[in-house]
Amino acid sequence: MQIKTFFVTDAREKPGKIYQVNGGVESTFYSRPSGNIYSMAFSPTGQLYFVNANEFKIYRVIRFWGWVFTFTVYTHSTYVRDIAFDSAGDLYFSEATGAGADGKVYKLSGGSATLFQDVTLAEVGGFWAGDFTFDTRDELYISSGNRVPASIYRHRDGAWQLVYTDSSDPIKGLTFLACDLLCYANWRSEVYLLDVVSGTRDMLYSNPMHLWLSDIALFRPKIEVPTLYEGTQVYSCDSTCWRDSGTVDDTWDFTDINANNADIAALMADIGAPTAPTTNDADIWARTRTVWAWLQSTGLNPGDANYDAALAYRSSLGHWPSIAELAHMFVTWGGFWWGGCTCMCRAQMLATLLYRVGIPSDRMAIAESMWKPTYSQHMYVVLKVGCHWYYIDPTSSTPTLNATPENIGGGSADYTHPNSLYLIPGSTLTKPMLVR
């Protein structure tokens, strides 16, 4: 994965500069008249702000008809260590003394600062140099700064939670590429990309000319991702990363997906999952596990007593079965025609049942991606739990899903790079997503 354009700064340089890295090539984006630059941030509309950790001021840069102006937007009572924006465009800054005392994060509004969050050193490993950011859901993250081992903490439910520890490098300025992808500078020559779900780290950038890379910033980022069979594809990132060349189709036949009758009631009762709508992540995964296990145990396969009868009924429909027709199969023959079902019909059945157990349309879709050889397509379900998209392939014979979210697949499909989505009724998804 490569971010097409991002920005870095080296706190050692004086006067300080902000560099734009475009396709791996670095150029000067902004040069300060004097003084260092430790940290920087772009507002959601693209306005550039920066601070020197040894000054009391927050600066803003304005470009106008080839001219560049730098002016002070706020002066604090002590050193301003870092700055960051939330999703609403509000600006925050930090004060910290390393291991000397607890730190603080402030929110700046109308020219005045109000305390947003205390950072108690005893709760974050005893050290904090002021580096912080927000994820795409506006949860606060901090990093240890110039020390090894270094850690990243998240503030959730009133407490700090350890997210990641790097035993070889410091962790300085950090920013989110997407809701589960975090970039950070290592106070040396490198910038890393961290998957906060899996804890895996990849090098994003390295330049031995820099010795104190202290921050990385993004503005409307795009990434280039190698796929298995389609070459490199471009994704635009916000809460997740969406494939620029991908397509969606909302014409899949989910006839009468909201219907109700006695057969449907019997079907849902046998599945045993709640059916009220939910956006709770734990509920979404628990209901997915229930539906998956039910399908694995109830699906009719060749040799089962009612397999041929269920297949004959399914073949007589001439269309994808509605929820009422699926329920009729279950009530009449004790299960669905499943064993000879293609990836398309299995994905349609799984998606239909997930919808009927209350999982929102925007939290799932039928995805299509390449299957080796490259002219063949494969369909499966993608499911969003938390901020992470997972692939769930119902052609897999895995009997049960783990208690924690996981990917389920098999074969040679490029599950992580769907090129199209088939939407569940009511969905507002507009592009296929990067799945990991």
Per-residue pLDDT at 436: 86
More confident residue, 340 or 213: 213
CA pair distance 365, 363, nearest whole angstrom: 7
- The predicted pLDDT at position 373 comes to 80
Banded pLDDT at 376 (limits 50, 70, 90): confident
Second CATH level (architecture) for the domain 2-220: 6 Propeller (2.120)
Check whether 375 has a pLDDT greater than 90. Answer: no
d(CA 137, CA 279): 15
Share of the chain above pLDDT 90, in %: 90
Q: What is the pLDDT of residues 17-55, one digit of tens each?
A: 999 999 999 999 999 999 999 999 999 999 999 999 999
CB 155 within 8 A of CB 117: yes
Angle between the N-to-C axes of helices 323-333 and 343-356, in degrees from 0 to 180, rounded to the nearest 10: 100
Given a cut of 90, whether residue 252 has pLDDT beyond it is no
For residue 269, what is the enclosing H or E element?
A: helix 262-271
Residue 288 has pLDDT above 80, yes or no: yes
Average pLDDT, the chain: 95
- Per the CB < 8 A criterion, the answer to whether 173 and 204 are in contact is no
Q: What tokens does 294 get?
A: 């039910």
Please enumerate in sequence order all residues whose Cβ is within 8 A of that of 298, keeping only pairs 6 or more positions apart, or say none.
270, 330, 334, 335, 336
Q: pLDDT tier at 63 (50, 70, 90 boundaries)? A: confident
Q: pLDDT for 87-123, tens place per residue?
A: 999 999 999 999 999 999 999 998 999 999 999 999 9
pLDDT band at 340, cuts 50/70/90? confident
**What mean pLDDT comes out for the span 406-411?**
90
Q: Which helix (H) or strand (E) holds 90?
A: none
Residues in contact with 157: Cβ distance below 8 Å, sequence separation at least 6, in sequence order = none
Closest CA to 161 of 153, 172, 151: 153
- Report the pLDDT value the prediction gives residue 374, as an integer from 0 to 100: 75
Domain ranges of the chain: 2-220, 244-422
CB atoms near residue 352 (< 10 Å): 18
**pLDDT for the residue 255:** 83
